[in-house]
Every structure is written in structure tokens, then in C-alpha cells.
Amino acid sequence: MPDKQPAVWVISGPSGVGKGTVCARLREQRPRVFYSVSLTTRDPRPGEVDGKSYHFVSPDHFDDLAAQGLLLEHAVVHGRHSYGTPRAPVEDALAKQRSVVLEIDLQGAAQVKQNMPEARLVFLEPPSWEELTRRLIGRGTEDEPALTRRLETARAEMAARHMADHRVVNDVVEDTVATLIDLMGL
Ligand code: 5GP
């Protein structure tokens, strides 16, 4: 069954807001939606699987793909590693009448909006700045400099939230997912 209105949905928001958890839960509830797997030049974290969490690639390979125009968007995130969305799988999914979810940063979101003005951008907001800081520290996957970088990026990202088409406060994950399903008409 094709989706009623297949569309590209960009889910963005500051690091630590819970994009990953929200998208994982959405995926369980709406498996027909195509969830893009990004490329990244960073190393895998424990438990991450190549080809599922990300496609982990070398900086040279990443630059080659970007130069060939094979990425829908790409950006250096947290001033460090490159991340990007492979273009072909997104186009294939749309051709099959499937909606697409991209979980990417705001620089990438801006590029997607430029290339595909019909794409919808949802900005996930934390209930408060204190809560975001608590979540970032609580995750415990970052060393001190990485955490500082993430907080700086998060601050800049919070300031850019006006460019979103929809803003959703991610307080209780189940409620956020229900709101997204409703928004997306899924
Ligand atoms: P992490 O390293 O914690 O997995 O992700 C860091 C940030 O990179 C997150 O804010 C995430 O949304 C963003 N990101 C993940 N994939 C992509 C992508 O394909 N493009 C862009 N622009 N950002 C991405």
C-alpha cells in the first residue's frame, strides 16, 4: 500500500534531544517509512553496526561521493566529522511511494529544504536547556572536549529552530512519536 502522501520528513534538533530514540520508536510503529542510513567519517560507537546505524567511511571516500553529487546533503557536524545522506535510496523510496525520514543536523536540513522545497522540517526541542544538558551528560558516550563541542553545537542549533516547519517538544517519547505520526499523516 503506498503512503497517502509520500513526502520527505527531516527530523532535526540539538544533539541530545533524543532524535535517535524518537526515530527508532517511529520506525517500530511505522516500518513502511524509509529511514535513510547516513554516511559518516566518525568511528563507530560500541554497539553500532555498519550499514545500519551509519555507513562508516573514510574521509577520502566521503569526499569522492560528495564530489560526484551522490549526496543529497552533507555537513561537518560538531566541527569535526562529515555526515551525509546518500541521494539514490531517498529517490528510490519516493519513486515507490514511500515516505522518507532523514534524521540529520540543521545545516543538512537547510540543504535539503533548498534542494527539495517540498520537504518538511520538524525540529525536536528539549523541554528546557537544563534538561538537554542533563541528557547529554547522562549519555556518557562523550569525553569532556566532545561534550563541550556538542553543547556549543546544540546552542547554535537551538537558535536556528525558527527555520523549522514544525516544532515539537520531546518530553515523553511516546507522545512525541504520536504527534509525528499525526503530523506526517502516517
Ligand atoms: P552522532 O555522531 O551522535 O551519531 O550524530 C551527530 C549529529 O550528526 C546528530 O545531530 C545527527 O543528527 C547528525 N547527522 C547524522 N546523520 C547526518 C547526515 O546524514 N547529515 C547531516 N547533515 N547530519 C547528520
Atom of ligand 1 nearest to the CA of 103: 12
Among residues 102, 107, 121, 84, which one has the least CA distance to residue 156? 107
24: Cα within 13 Å, side-chain hemisphere: 7
1 pLDDT more than 70:
no
| pLDDT score recorded for residue 165 | 95
126 pLDDT more than 80:
yes
Residue owning the nearest CA to atom 20 of ligand 1: 84
Residues 80-102: tens digit of each pLDDT: 899 999 999 999 999 999 999 99
Residues 102-123: tens digit of each pLDDT: 999 989 999 999 999 999 999 9
Cα(182) to centroid of ligand 1, in Å?
Answer: 24
| pLDDT score recorded for residue 2 | 53
Comparison of pLDDT for 2 and 169, the residue scoring more: 169
Residues lining ligand 1, judged by CB closer than 6 Å? 15, 19, 38, 42, 73, 75, 77, 83-85, 103-105, 107-108
21 vs 142: CA distance, rounded Å: 17
| pLDDT score recorded for residue 125 | 94
137 vs 55: CA distance, rounded Å: 26
Cα(179) to centroid of ligand 1, in Å?
Answer: 22
| pLDDT score recorded for residue 148 | 87
Query: DSSP of 93-120, one letter per residue?
Result: HHHTT--EEEE--HHHHHHHHHH-TT-E
Residues 22-81: tens digit of each pLDDT: 999 999 999 999 999 999 999 999 999 999 999 999 999 999 999 999 999 999 987 789
| pLDDT score recorded for residue 178 | 98
| pLDDT score recorded for residue 142 | 73
| pLDDT score recorded for residue 4 | 65
Q: What is the pTM of this model?
A: 0.91
| pLDDT score recorded for residue 84 | 98
98 touches 34 (CB < 8 A) = yes
- The amino acid that residue 91 corresponds to is E
Cα(98) to centroid of ligand 1, in Å?
Answer: 22
